[in-house]
Amino acid sequence: MAKMVDRRQFLKTMALAGVSIAGAGTLVGCSDNTSTDQAQENTGITWQEETDVVVIGSGFAGLAAALEVVEAGFQVKVIEKMPVIGGNSTINGGDVAACGSKMQAEQGIEDSVDLMVSDMLVAGLNYNHVDRVRLLAEKSNETLEWTMNYLGVKYTKLNYHGGHSVLRTHMTENASGSDIIKAASEKLKEKGVSISTNTKFVRLIENEEKRIIGVEVLEGYKFGKDDSGTSKLIKARKAVIMASGGFSQDVKMRQIHEPRLDDRFSSTNHQGATGEALREVLKHGAMDVHMDWIQLGPWTSPDEPGFGYTPQFCERLVGMSPMINVKTGKRFIMETGNRKVRADAIIELGEPCIILGDEYAVKKQVVEKILEGGLANGCIKKYDTLEEIADAYNIPKDAFLAEIKHWNAMVLKGVDEDFGTKLLDGAKPTEQAPFYVARLWPKVHHCMGGLYTNLKGQVINQDFEPIKGLYAAGEIVGGTHGAVRLGGVACTDCLTYGRIAGQEAAKEEAWS
Amino acid sequence: MAKMVDRRQFLKTMALAGVSIAGAGTLVGCSDNTSTDQAQENTGITWQEETDVVVIGSGFAGLAAALEVVEAGFQVKVIEKMPVIGGNSTINGGDVAACGSKMQAEQGIEDSVDLMVSDMLVAGLNYNHVDRVRLLAEKSNETLEWTMNYLGVKYTKLNYHGGHSVLRTHMTENASGSDIIKAASEKLKEKGVSISTNTKFVRLIENEEKRIIGVEVLEGYKFGKDDSGTSKLIKARKAVIMASGGFSQDVKMRQIHEPRLDDRFSSTNHQGATGEALREVLKHGAMDVHMDWIQLGPWTSPDEPGFGYTPQFCERLVGMSPMINVKTGKRFIMETGNRKVRADAIIELGEPCIILGDEYAVKKQVVEKILEGGLANGCIKKYDTLEEIADAYNIPKDAFLAEIKHWNAMVLKGVDEDFGTKLLDGAKPTEQAPFYVARLWPKVHHCMGGLYTNLKGQVINQDFEPIKGLYAAGEIVGGTHGAVRLGGVACTDCLTYGRIAGQEAAKEEAWS
């Protein structure tokens, strides 16, 4: 004898049992007391909360998306698994790449969408999805102005990053992405949206048509304690936006895609940059791209943990100061080359190289608090003479002194004859004591790969169709950067496509 | 009022509606007239056929797998969507890479597992999954001997392929992979297994525990006619083995992963090398790796369609004869370099280069029927003098003649001074008329990426666990070759891991 079963109770059981309710639409045979319309509206799931849009992650992309949802007049809930908001977006140099900006114009820098696109494609080895790159470049200045005019973020100077043809990255006043995260989270608060920290995304919930209708989260989750937190089902009437970042800290996952990157390589990323949210989306038939392009930052130090101070010391000096192979005392790479080229070259050396800048270059280029922080934690050292540097790092002295002499002669000409390229405007010979030195060894920094989305931010499935109700933006998305991401473009990518995802999700027809 | 529902009928409805029956295990509430044990054995699906193992694809991997299942004493069904069997496995040069073979010993060639592993990792840019590479190298000679002793395949010589440190690829007597496919399919026939051609794999069917329990296929399918064929549900008591190959002919799919590879690039592959079977597996939560490493063959001709004759003309001549940039009359690349390096260098030229061999080199190296075929279809041309070649291809004559003189001087020394490497033993100056010339332009040849499997051939899901009842081998699997596959290793990969998948699938406990 078959038992009578209540459809609502039945589906609720399924949902609570952690079972995808795909295919549940065929269950109408179980119960005829609901019309089709009602069945679509009533999944039988007991939601503990509901909103229009759920945003997973509170970095640049997540907050930009949430703000757009709110501005469009809809409810949004932002969840963040970590105890603090912002993830990697708070621990970077606050550089926003944009072409055609006011600051560029003021400094007489000629830039264009075409030039920015071209720079990104060259670095990306043409793996980039060209339409994504072009839209990003086209919107880059609009994004920059949005952070200034809407969020009130201030930019104080243009920074150079290897691989860009011109000065294009706009540095926030505190040289930190937290300037943007702070402003965006305050704006959200003004609008009545608080961010739920310690709340971990567990899974997507889909209906009979495979439309995403909500999420399961763990409230009160403690990072690293898998059994912590309490399950909650949140209904998303319009959409779920995935903005949970990359997987640079996920050694198991990154080694499947890039076996070289075992636990001998640490990461610049915050501890929560693991890949379980991305993998959950892939379980729903989403397509991924470029998962094996995982960027090593070539400007990190083995003498401090995480991102640290060294990247903003090193990157401000490239094009003005030389990087030296300590074994030979010679340069070995164009310091302004892209991240992959430089990281691979350092790994090839088999040991850390050094970068050195003199008083002039360091004071001109490096933000004071970066220099102070680096000197305090020991990743940056100060020397009175070049000879002392040779002694300290066991560099062949004569070769090193000859190389600096050669470098200085090139600087006077303004041309890097070793690698056939220009040096930065304002570069002077490295000769003014004291000298500042940092050792460099690559760390895992950015996942270029991730979900495949269209230009609206809709996640695309294995049938090349959008998964209804599901959007993604930021580092969880692949295709923008191709093989190699340029410095400063991540902020622009996350903010631009985060805003688009929010705008598009707000337009989505509610399923309930 | 809820209707009473028969569980068997209900599940049958779901299956026929094309709905995954994942999660159906929670449906016991619908009916209490079946015990849990019975429920697991009886899915309610009306199968039109059943067997122990279903193999999707009839190339090297599929046939090797099927033979192992049969030898283990179990039933197997091989399906092939095309009207003929073998796919790409029939249209290649029949080169099987193996280290430590009898033929190598006879020719005094010193080779080892370590050397083969090292060659593969260098070409693969260390993206390779090292355990897969090592197992492959360790089993390579066993695989070669299996084709000789078990299938009766004959090998007549050792061929050189760029990137291998030693002569390691064993050429079948007709210089064609069809020698192996023919022998394997005849052996299967002996064992009572026929291959179902014109039968297209549509989808995997899984049970409540997400174990794969069968497949839906279209019988009487006509390639290219999506509405052709009749649906059939085939129960696989033990396992399904995916051996359906790569997606080199799938322009839409390859452009998502490698945007450069649009329809301006043709392919060496058979027309059926599209990616729908791989994408169906990914819909079931399988993990993919290295999807963006898609190999261009650098040895193909724009003057003939498909794989053609040119690859076996070019590859026999590299290391004995020069490749020339027609614009300069000079060499531009180490002819024995790996496929990616060479293909990228030709694309960089912006137009086809040529390879030329003289009477001595061509007669010594190139199989007669390849030369005859190429001359007949016009992809290989014959000239009496070097001057005629310069005229025919519009090459600067003096530069070209000087380059050949320079080349010949190096050949006499046995050293390629231009690129700091050795030339092939037996190389002689290019001076003996007539000369044979082919133009070279890359074609899409091999997908290094695909499903992530363990060393048993089990397909791994996004939770890093095997998908029960699902195996894969051959080009549909990623990780063996990393970024760049070496010539001759595909046969070994497909046969070795095809056999392993068959052996392991045969050991799988039947679910029904």
Q: pLDDT tens digit string along A390-438? A: 999 999 999 999 999 999 999 999 999 999 888 888 999 999 999 999 9
- Indicate the residue of A13, A252, A256 with minimum beta-carbon distance to B26: A13
Name which of B29, B259, B463 is nearest A13 (Cβ-Cβ).
B29
Q: Do B289 and A20 touch (CB under 8 A)?
A: no
* Residue at A283 is within a domain: no
> How do strand B466-472 and strand B230-242 relate by DSSP bridges?
parallel
CA distance A310 to chain B (A): 28
| Chain A residues inside the 8 Å CB shell of B7 | 2
In angstroms, the separation between the Cα of residue A510 and the nearest Cα of chain B is 24
What pLDDT does residue A25 have?
A: 34
CB contact under 8 A, B26 and A32: no
Of B31, B126, B287, the CB nearest to A260: B126
What is the least distance, in Å, from the CA of A446 to any CA of chain B? 17
pLDDT at residue A219 tops 70: yes
For residue B259, the chain A residues in CB contact (below 8 A) are 126-130
C-beta atoms of B13 and A26 within 8 A: yes
Instruction: Assess whether B290 and B186 both reside in one domain.
Output: yes
The catalytic site residues of B sit at 339
Per the CB < 8 A criterion, the answer to whether B195 and B188 are in contact is yes
Residues A221 and A116 in one domain: yes
Evaluate whether residue A446 is within a structural domain: no
Distance from CA of B347 to the nearest CA of A (A): 13
A22, pLDDT greater than 90: no
pLDDT-derived band at A11, boundaries 50, 70, 90 = very low
Check A256 against B289: CB less than 8 A apart.
yes
The whole-angstrom separation of Cα A298 and Cα A247 is: 18
pTM above 0.90, yes or no: no
Asked if A245 and A387 sit in the same domain, the reply is no
pLDDT for res B44: 85
Q: Do the Cβ atoms of B225 and B39 come closer than 8 Å?
A: no
Count Cα atoms within 13 angstroms, Cβ side, for A170. 28
> Mean pLDDT across the stretch B321-350?
93
Position A498 in a domain: yes
For residue B428, the enclosing domain spans 299-441
Q: Which residues of B are less than 8 Å from A290 in CB distance?
A: 257, 292
Q: B residues 436-465 near A, CB within 8 Å?
A: 452, 461-464
Q: What SS3 class is residue A318?
A: strand
pLDDT for residue A321 is more than 60: yes
Mean pLDDT of B353-358: 98
CA dihedral (A391, A396, A402, A404) positive or negative: negative
Please report the pLDDT score of residue A339 as a whole number: 85
Calculate the alpha carbon distances from A7 to A31, A44, A215, B27, B405 in Å.
6, 7, 21, 11, 85
Is residue A459 included in any domain, yes or no? no
Q: What's the confidence (pLDDT) of residue B37? A: 37
Summarize the confidence of residues A125-153 as an average pLDDT. Answer: 97
- B2–A7 CB contact, under 8 Å: yes
As a whole number, mean pLDDT of residues A8-17 equals 39
Question: Looking at the structure, do residues A108 and A219 belong to the same domain, yes or no?
Answer: yes
Same domain, B273 and B418: no
Q: Is B257 on the interface with A (CB under 8 A)?
A: yes
Q: CA–CA separation, B445 vs B422, rounded Å?
A: 27
- Buried residues in B222-244 as b, exposed as e (16+ CB within 10 A): eeeeeeebeebbbbbbbbbbbbb
Residues A375 and A389 in one domain: yes
Let me know if residue B20 belongs to a domain: no
Confidence label for B370 from pLDDT (cuts 50, 70 and 90): very high
Interface contact B287-A287, CB threshold 8 A: no
Mean pLDDT, residues A480-493: 96
Interface of A with B in 97-126 (CB under 8 A): 126
What sign has the CA pseudo-torsion A339, A341, A347, A352? negative
Domain boundary among the residues B441, B464, B492 is at: B441
Catalytic residue list of A: 339
CB A22 within 8 A of CB A204: no
pLDDT tens per residue, range A260-272: 999 889 999 999 9
Q: In the prediction, which pLDDT does A10 show? A: 38
Q: How far apart are CA B123 and CA B454, in angstroms?
A: 22
Q: Which of B288, B347, B463, B484 to mutate to test the interface with A (most CBs of A within 10 A)?
A: B288
Cβ separation A23–B30 shorter than 8 A: no
> Residues A465-478: pLDDT tens digits?
999 999 999 999 99
Q: Which chain A residue's Cα is nearest to B32? A: A2
Question: How does residue A42 score in pLDDT terms, banded at 50, 70 and 90?
Answer: low
Provide the number of CB pairs (under 8 Å) joining chain A to chain B.
Answer: 138
Q: Do B283 and A285 touch (CB under 8 A)?
A: yes
Look at chain B and report how many structural domains it folds into. 2
The label of the residue with tokens 């959007």 reads: A471
Banded model confidence at residue A341, pLDDT cuts 50, 70, 90? confident
Which residues from B are below 8 Å from A283, CB to CB? 285, 461-462
How do residues B468-483 score in pLDDT, each as one tens digit?
999 999 999 999 999 9
Could you read off the pLDDT of B412-470 as tens digits, one per residue? 999 999 998 888 889 999 999 999 999 999 999 999 999 999 999 999 999 999 999 99
In angstroms, the separation between the Cα of residue A208 and the nearest Cα of chain B is: 10
Say if residue A13's pLDDT is above 50: no
Write A214-218 long-range contacts (CB < 8 A, 24+): A214/A45, A214/A47, A214/A50, A214/A54, A214/A240, A215/A54, A215/A56, A215/A79, A215/A240, A216/A18, A217/A79
Percent of chain B with pLDDT over 90: 86
The verdict on a CB contact (< 8 Å) between A292 and B127 is yes
Tell which residue, B478, B475, B477, B479, has the closest CA to residue B490: B475
Please give the torsion angle defined by the CA atoms of residues B54, B59, B65 and B70, in that order, rounded to the nearest 10 degrees: 70
| B444 within 8 A of B267, measured Cβ to Cβ | yes
Digit-coded pLDDT (tens) for B158-217: 998 888 999 999 999 999 999 999 999 999 999 999 999 999 999 999 999 999 999 999
To the nearest 10°, the Cα dihedral for B203, B206, B210, B211? -110
Give backbone dihedrals phi and psi of A127, rounded to 5 degrees, phi first: -75, -20
Suggest the residue from A1, A5, A250 to mutate for an interface test with chain B (most B CBs closer than 10 A).
Answer: A5
Mean pLDDT, range A29-35, rounded to an integer: 33
In a domain, A188, yes or no: yes
Instruction: Tell me the Ramachandran region of residue B140: left when phi exceeds 0, alpha when psi lies from -120 to 50, beta otherwise.
Output: alpha
**Lowest mean pLDDT segment, chosen from A50-54, A203-207, B348-352:** B348-352
Does residue A228 share a domain with residue A192? yes
Does residue B17 register a pLDDT over 90?
no
Q: pLDDT at position A329, please?
A: 98
Q: Residue A257: list chain B partners with CB under 8 A.
A: 289-290
Asked which of B385, B418, B441 is the last residue of a domain, the reply is B441
B458-460 vs B421-422, strand pairing mode = unpaired
Q: Identify all chain B residues contacting A21, using CB atoms and an 8 Å cutoff.
A: 23
Note which residues in 350-379 of chain B have CB less than 8 A from chain A.
none
B137: confidence class by pLDDT, cuts 50, 70, 90: very high
**Selected residues 482-511 of chain B with any CB under 8 Å from a CB in chain A:** none
Distance from the B4 Cα atom to the nearest Cα atom in chain A, whole angstroms: 6
Instruction: Examine the domain organization and report whether A201 and A342 are in the same domain.
Output: no
Mean pLDDT of chain B: 91
Mean pLDDT for chain A?
91
- Look at B33 and A132; give whichever has higher pLDDT: A132
pLDDT, tens digit, 9 for 90 and up, residues A360-390: 999 999 999 999 999 999 999 999 999 999 9
Residues 123-142 on A with a CB inside 8 Å of B are 126-130
- Would you state the pLDDT for residue A37? 38
Domain check: are B458 and B392 in the same one? Answer: no
Pairing type for strands A195-196 and A76-79 reads parallel
Residue A469 lies in a domain: no
For residues B335 and B435, membership in a common domain is answered with yes
Residue of B nearest to A129 (CA): B259
Q: Which CATH number does the domain housing residue A342 bear?
A: 3.90.700.10
pLDDT of residue A29: 31
Q: Report whether pLDDT(B3) > 90.
A: no
> What pLDDT, on a 0 to 100 scale, did the predictor assign at position B422?
83
Residues 6+ apart with CB under 8 A from B7: A2, B27, B28, B30, B31, B33, B34, B39, B44
- Give A-chain residues touching B10 at CB under 8 angstroms: 27, 29-30
Beta carbons of B280 and A3 less than 8 Å apart: no
Residue B191 distance to chain A (closest CA, Å): 37
B273 shares its domain with B326: no
Q: What is the CATH number of the domain that holds B497?
A: 3.50.50.60
Interface contact flag, A22 B19, Cβ < 8 Å: yes
Q: Is residue A449 part of a domain?
A: no
Mean pLDDT of A436-449: 97
What DSSP element (H or E) covers A81? none
Percent of chain B with pLDDT over 70: 92
pLDDT of residue B35: 35
Task: Please check whether residue B29 touches A, CB under 8 A.
Answer: yes
Q: What is the pLDDT of residue B42?
A: 65
Q: Could you say which of A415, A441, A467 is where a domain stops?
A: A441
- Does pLDDT of B284 surpass 80? yes
Alpha-helix runs per DSSP H in A242-396: 251-257, 276-283, 310-317, 339-349, 359-365, 368-377, 386-393
Asked if B343 and B393 sit in the same domain, the reply is yes
